[in-house]
Amino acid sequence: MTAFAERFGFVWLAHELGDANRSARVERPFDYIERNFYPGRTFADFADLNTQLRAWCRQVDAKEKRRLQTSPIALYATEQHALKPLPIYIPEVYELVRRTVDLEGFAHFATNRYSVPDDMIGREVEVRVSLLKVRVVDRHQVVVEHERVEDGLHATRTLPEHRKKRRLPADSAPPIAEEGPLRAAAPELSAFVDALKRHHGGRAVRAIRRLHRMFLEFPTEPLVIGVRRALEFGLLDLDRVERVVLRQISGDFFRQPQEGDDG
């Protein structure tokens, strides 16, 4: 809000707590819209709702208001010459999040999936979400732009150029670099990678990379034992695997409490 006010050259003033007249002036328009616009209407989507609402607002603003003794549109016409002009350039407002492109070639936002070029699978990218658009940015370049889908729909949006190559299932997707050392180290680690890919599908990249970090940080034998136990019980929780590994190596790397030790 502060940045918005600075850009357009005004300041926000909050009315005093408990000022019924001022709070009513803010809240009453919402009640008026709920009672006069929504009843009896249906909407195909948010875009349709906004289109109908704008048309309705033009009709309402053209009517004379007793309090104003004129219509809002007529009043705006008389005051327009005194209003401060808008800046020549107004940057688009967007929410910025970071996402890792999954193995099926999608970036996720608010339960929806948006297609990304296949050569970006496994890469962390910026996702800039505006009111109407979702843009995926890599190294300051917009690589793809989608029409934004209503949040929470669990929808998938794929651009035509991303359908040229058939999406591979998670098990047959190109392996990431971290898979090679894991598979070469032990059959158990290779089997665990396969299990992670089956369980997480296109979102297994993060789990595989964490397993690879554990492979680099811990001795191989305790890690293999921990993974073997996890596979026996069908557990794919890497936090539990890490705890098992730490219990095994604690005697080698940490002093174990002895009888008579304080604490």
Half-sphere exposure of 151 toward its Cβ, with a 13 Å CA cutoff? 6
Inter-axis angle of helices 205-217 and 220-232, to 10 degrees?
140
What is residue 203's predicted lDDT score, i.e. its pLDDT? 76
**Of 106, 105, 109, nearest to 96 (Cα)?**
109
Domain boundary residue, one of 28, 55, 82 = 82
- 43, 109: one domain: no
pLDDT reading at 114 higher than 90? yes
pLDDT reading at 169 higher than 60? no
**Of 152, 214, 157, 163, nearest to 188 (Cα)?**
214
What is residue 166's predicted lDDT score, i.e. its pLDDT? 47
- 158, 102: one domain: yes
What is residue 252's predicted lDDT score, i.e. its pLDDT? 54
Q: Per the structure block, which two tokens stand in for 160? A: 């035509």
**Domain enclosing residue 73, as ranges:** 2-82
Residue 215 lies in a domain: yes
Residue 101 lies in a domain: yes
- The answer for 175, left when phi > 0, alpha when psi is -120 to 50, beta otherwise, is beta
- 100, 26: one domain: no
142/158 Cα distance (integer angstroms): 16
What is residue 165's predicted lDDT score, i.e. its pLDDT? 55
- 113, 77: one domain: no
Q: Encode pLDDT of 79-107 as tens digits.
A: 999 988 888 888 888 899 999 998 788 99
Residue 87 lies in a domain: no
Residue 248 lies in a domain: yes
Residue 214 lies in a domain: yes
Instruction: Give the global pTM.
Output: 0.51
Residue with tokens 């109407």, as numbered in its chain: 132
Terminal alpha carbon distance of the chain: 52
Pairwise pLDDT comparison (21 vs 123), residue with the higher score: 123
- 74, 130: one domain: no
- 72, 99: one domain: no
Poorest-confidence range of 180-189, 240-249, 250-259? 250-259
Cβ-contact 205, 174 below 8 angstroms: no
Domain boundary residue, one of 59, 82, 105 = 82
What band does 254 get if pLDDT is binned at 50, 70 and 90? very low
Number of folded domains that form the chain: 3
Q: Per the structure block, which two tokens stand in for 114? A: 């948006």
- 174, 146: one domain: no
Pairwise pLDDT comparison (214 vs 163), residue with the higher score: 214
Residue 88 lies in a domain: no
What band does 198 get if pLDDT is binned at 50, 70 and 90? confident
pLDDT reading at 1 higher than 90? no
What is residue 129's predicted lDDT score, i.e. its pLDDT? 95
Residue 89 lies in a domain: no
Mean pLDDT of 51-60: 94
- 111, 53: one domain: no
Bridge partners (DSSP) of residue 121 are none
166/104 Cα distance (integer angstroms): 10
- 191, 224: one domain: yes
116/26 Cα distance (integer angstroms): 42
Residue 261 lies in a domain: no
Domain boundary residue, one of 127, 162, 197 = 162
What is residue 263's predicted lDDT score, i.e. its pLDDT? 47
- 25, 61: one domain: yes
Q: What is the mean pLDDT of the chain?
A: 85
- 184, 229: one domain: yes
Where residue 109 sits, what CATH number does that domain have? 2.40.50
- 156, 179: one domain: no
